[in-house]
A and B are shown apart, each in its own frame.
Chain A
C-alpha cells in the first residue's frame, strides 16, 4: 500500500515539475531584454551569441528543445557563466549549501524544540517570557545584520572563529548559527503554542487520571502530539534552508547556491534560472512528500489512502 502511495505521489510530482518548468519558461521569456547586452558589445556579436545559444529560434521550438534536453538530464549551458553547463553549476554548489543547511537545521530543530517545550512547560514564568522575547528577536533581526555582527565580533574583535570561507568545522559555526536563527524562532513559537493546545486534550486528562507522572505524560503524549504542526512546516523550512541563503552565503563567502538565485535573474540567464527553479521545485516536492510519509508512519490514524 505504501508502494501504491509512493507511485501516485511520484506521478503527481512529475506533473507538478512539468507545470512549474513550463510556467517559468514562458514567464522568463516575457521579461524584456537580451542576456547578452553590455557596453562595447557589437551588434553582430550579440546576434552571433543569440544564434549560438539557440535564442533566435521560434519560442515553441526552444520550449521543445528545452523539454527534450530536460528528459535527458541536460539543463543546457549557462548564458552568463560562459561555457559552464547548468547541471555542473548546480551540482558544484548544492552540496555546500546542503552541508550548511543541514547544520543549520540541526541547530534550529534541536534548539527550537527545546525552547518551545521549556516555554510551554513553564508557562507564565520568567523563562516563558524570556523565550518569547528571544523568539521575537530571532524572527525580527535581518540575517545580514546578524551575520555582520557575528563576523565582526567573533572574527575580528575576539578572533575566536574564522571570518569567512567554508574550509573547516570552525568556519561552519557562525554561518550555521546565522542561518538557523529564523527557523529556530519559528519552530520554538509553533512548538510552544502546539504544546499549550495539546495540554487541553482529553487524552492528556485521561493519562493524568490513570496516574502517570507529569514527566511521563509530557514525554509520551504531549510532546509527541505537539510535534505534528512542526512536521508540516518542516518540509518547506528544510527546502528553504538547504538550498542556500543569499545573505549568509554572501557575507561569509560560502560557495553555495544562494547567490545564483539573485544573480541569475539579474543577468537574464534563462538556462540557469530554469535549472535553479526546477531544482528547487523538485527538492521542495521531495521534502513535502517525505513529510507526508513521516506523518503516515508516526500517526497510525492517518492512512496513506
Chain B
C-alpha cells in the first residue's frame, strides 16, 4: 500500500517539521543560577532600611544589597566599599579610602553617605549601643551632644575618618555588618516613613539589588551588574520565600525546591550528614540562667537571689554535659563560662586558648552533688532557715516552649524542683518576654536568657553586664568589673587586653548574676549543587554572597 499524505496530513507534517526545526536551532538556554532560601526567622521582614536593625534576620538580606566599608568572607575581613584603610598607632583613628562605586540609581557612593548613615544610627536606631566605641556616639543618642560632633567625618568625597573612644580591636569586624552600610539621606527625606518598606524606596550598592519584594511572600534579589566585584559574584538571583513552618521548609528541601534548610533536631541533621549535605560551623551565642538581684523589690527574695552561693548551688546541680550528650545528642557545647571557646580574642588565638583556667572552675561540666550540698548548707545559713521549703517561692521566666524537651527550660525547672525549691514557670512569648525581662519592669526572679554576639570578640558577651548597661534586664552592678572592662578598652596590647578580659570572666563567673548553660553548634543542610556557602560565628550565620550553583 502506498502512503499518501492528505492535505491535512501535509499541513500537520509541515508544522511538526517547523516545530522540530526551531527547537533544534534554539541553543540550550543556560539556566540562571538561582539560590532559593527561606526568609530567615520564618517571619516576614517588614523594613529593610539598615538603620532599623533589630534582628540578624533583616541583615541576611541587607548584607547582599548594601556594601559596607568592609565585608566578611568566611573568617576573613576583606575590602568592600573601602579599597584600603589605615589605623593610627593608638588604635583610635581609622582612615578609609573609598573606591569609585555607584548606587543602583547611578549616583556615586560618597563618604558623606557613610556620615549620614552613622548619624542616623545614633539619632534614630534602636541598637546603636553596639557602636558606642565611636566618639560621642552615646552622647548623640542621649541628646547630650550635637550630631555634628559624632566621630565620623568625611573630609572629602572619597575619604572617611572614624574616631573611637579607645582602641577597639573588634571595630573592623563591627564594620562588616549591614548596620554600618552607607545610606542615601535624599531618599530618606523623600520617602519618610515609607523608606525601607518597598524595593523602589531605596537605592543599593551591594553585590545584589532588591528586584521585587512581596512583603508577605517572596523577596527577589538580582545580581548587580555594576557592582565593583561583579566578576566574582556567581549567582544571578537569590530568592527568599516566606515559609513560616519549619516542616514545610524540610518538605521543600527534600523535594529539591529549597536550597538551604536548618535542621530542627540533631537526628534530622545526622540524616543530612549521611547524605553529605550538612555543613557544621562555629556559631556564637549563649544560653544562660539570669538571677534578679533586686528580687522584684522583695527583700527576702533579693537576699536569696543575690547570694552567690545560691547560684552556685543550682549550678553544681546541673549536668550540662549530660544534657548536651543525651538530650541534644551532641548538638551543643556545655558552657561553664559566658564566652564561647571559639570566639577570637586576638588574631590567631581563640578565647578557649587563653581562658582555660576558668573553664570548669566556677561552674562544672557535670553535676557535683557533694559540692551542691555544701552550697545548699551555706545558702540556708545565709538565709537563716533550716530547710529548703522555708525559702521564698520563685518564678522562672522563659520564652521557650516548656513542652519542648530539646530546650533548656524543662531541664532547669526539673533540677530546681528536685532541689526542693518552689519554682513556678512564667512563659512569655514575643514582645511580652522582653517587656517582662527588660528594664524598667525586670519582673522576673530567675530567667532563661542568653546573648547573640554582634562581633567576634569576648567583649560582646561581657559589655552588657556593666553597671551603665540596662540591657537584658541585668541587675549586676560591680565597680571592680566595670573597672576591668574600662581598662581592657584602653589597652592597645592585645595580649594584655586578653589577660584583663580573662580576669573579668573569672570575676563574673564567681559572683555574677548569670550562670552559663549552653553554647551553640551551628549546622545547616545545603543541596549538593550549592557550592561555596560560607558561615560566620557572629551576625548573619550564612554568607551566600559568593555561592555558585553547579547543577
Contact = CB atoms under 8 A, between A and B. Distances in A.
A299 to B, nearest CB: 42
Interface string A78-112: 10111110000000110000000000000000000
A77 to B, nearest CB: 6
B141 interface: yes
A163 B141 contact: no
Interface residues of A, number: 45
Interface string B428-439: 011110111011
Contact of A84 (B128, B197, B257): B197
Nearest to A40: B127
Interface string B399-431: 000000000000000000000000000000111
B142 A44 contact: yes
A81 B44 contact: yes
Nearest to B470: A43
A267 interface: yes
B341 interface: no
Given A33-B432, A83-B46, A253 B243 contact: yes
Contact of A39 (B241, B254, B257, B472): B472
B439 A43 contact: yes
A156 interface: yes
B503 interface: no
Contact of B196 (A35, A77, A83, A263): A83
B308 to A, nearest CB: 25
Contacts of A32: 435, 441
A246 to B, nearest CB: 9
A49 B126 CA distance: 9
Interface string A44-88: 111011000000000000000000000000000110111110000
A83 B432 CA distance: 22
Contacts of B197: 82-84
Interface stretch (A134-142, A147-155, A188-196, A290-298): A147-155
Given A163-B248, A253-B242, A84 B431 contact: no
B216 A45 contact: no
Among the interface residues A44, A151, A263, A268, which one has the most CB atoms of the partner chain B within 10 A?
A44
Contact of B248 (A40, A48, A92, A252): A252
How many chain B residues sit at the interface, stated as a range, is: 35 or more
B129 interface: yes
Contacts of A37: 431, 434-435, 438
B248 to A, nearest CB: 5
Contacts of B124: 45, 48
A211 interface: no
Interface string A126-168: 0000000000000000000000100110011001000111000
A42 B245 contact: no
A197 interface: no
Contacts of A93: 216
A3 interface: no
Contacts of B430: 263, 266-268
Contacts of A124: none
B52 to A, nearest CB: 6
A83 B195 contact: yes
B244 interface: yes
A42 B244 contact: no
Contact of B126 (A35, A38, A92, A259): A38
Contacts of A255: 214, 216-217, 242
Given A39-B471, A40-B129, A253-B243, A92 B216 contact: yes
Contacts of B438: 37-39
Contacts of A253: 241-245, 248
A51 to B, nearest CB: 12
A127 to B, nearest CB: 36
Among the interface residues B126, B130, B194, which one has the most CB atoms of the partner chain A within 10 A?
B126
A151 B248 contact: yes
A250 B245 contact: yes
B88 interface: no
B165 interface: no
Interface in B273-323: none
Interface in B222-264: 241-245, 247-248, 251-252, 254-255, 257
Given A41-B127, A80-B46, A83-B194, A156 B255 contact: yes
Interface in B430-455: 430-432, 434-436, 438-439, 441
A92 B46 CA distance: 14
Nearest to A162: B257
A142 B524 CA distance: 30
B214 A267 contact: no
B43 interface: yes
Interface in B136-176: 141-143
A82 B196 contact: yes
Given A37-B435, A42-B141, A163 B46 contact: no
A163 B438 CA distance: 40
A152 to B, nearest CB: 6
A42 B126 contact: yes
Nearest to B140: A44
A199 B63 CA distance: 69
Contacts of B125: 45
B459 to A, nearest CB: 14
Interface in B36-87: 43-44, 46-47, 52, 54
A174 to B, nearest CB: 11
Contact of B251 (A41, A84, A163): A163
B255 A251 contact: no
B32 interface: no
A114 B130 CA distance: 63
B186 interface: no
B105 interface: no
Contacts of A45: 124-126, 128, 141
Given A48-B124, A81-B44, A148-B247, A40 B471 contact: yes
Contact of A34 (B46, B127, B195, B435): B435
Contact of B255 (A40, A49, A80, A155): A155
Interface in A247-285: 250-253, 255, 259, 263, 266-268
A251 B245 contact: yes
Given A42-B126, A42-B141, A266 B432 contact: yes
B243 A164 contact: yes
A155 B251 CA distance: 8
Contacts of A36: 126
B428 to A, nearest CB: 9
Nearest to B42: A250
A38 B241 contact: no
A250 B141 contact: no
A229 B306 CA distance: 64
B490 interface: no
Nearest to B436: A33
B506 to A, nearest CB: 25
Interface of A: 32-46, 48-49, 77-78, 80-84, 92-93, 148, 151-152, 155-156, 159, 163-165, 250-253, 255, 259, 263, 266-268
Given A83-B193, A253-B244, 11 more contacts: A33-B432, A33-B441, A41-B54, A92-B215, A148-B247, A164-B243, A253-B241, A255-B242, A263-B430, A266-B432, A268-B430
12 contacts: A37-B434, A38-B438, A42-B129, A42-B141, A82-B46, A82-B196, A156-B255, A164-B248, A250-B244, A255-B216, A255-B242, A267-B431
Lowest 3 A-B CB distances belong to which pairs?
A266-B430, A33-B435, A255-B216
